[in-house]
Amino acid sequence: MKNNGFTLIEVLVASSVLMMVISTVVPIISLITEHQSLLSDRRTFNYYLHDELQPYLHQQETALPTNYSETIHNKTVTFEFQMVNELVKGCAEWQNVKNNNEVICLYGYREK
């Protein structure tokens, strides 16, 4: 007798192995995508904060403290600039992918 196909047991074993692989890989890909978005936002908002801090460092007539919000990549980012001792402190605050508030601060000396 010649056997040209799969038996029911072989199909069940193969499908269960496939389901185990899928159930392991999908959450990992979701977690990686979430962390990628989190790190991308941090990098982007850090660049924006650096650019927004420059006028306060190089122009003496800019008033401190200052607080304003902007929408960047569909997220509301609040920028705050103030003097701390001799340094200008600039902070950006936003709500990240995990719905936590996140803050990044940069410091710089004013030109004299």
For residue 97, is it within any domain? yes
Polymer length of the chain: 112
For residue 3, is it within any domain? no
Name the residue range of residue 66's domain: 8-109
Q: Give the mean model confidence (pLDDT) for residues 57-70.
A: 87
Domain count, the chain: 1
For residue 71, is it within any domain? yes
pLDDT digits (tens, 9 = 90+) for 64-91: 899 999 999 899 999 999 999 989 999 9
Phi-psi region of 47 (alpha: psi -120 to 50; beta: other; left: phi over 0): alpha
For residue 2, is it within any domain? no
pLDDT(1) > 60: no
CB 112 within 8 A of CB 92: no
For residue 68, is it within any domain? yes
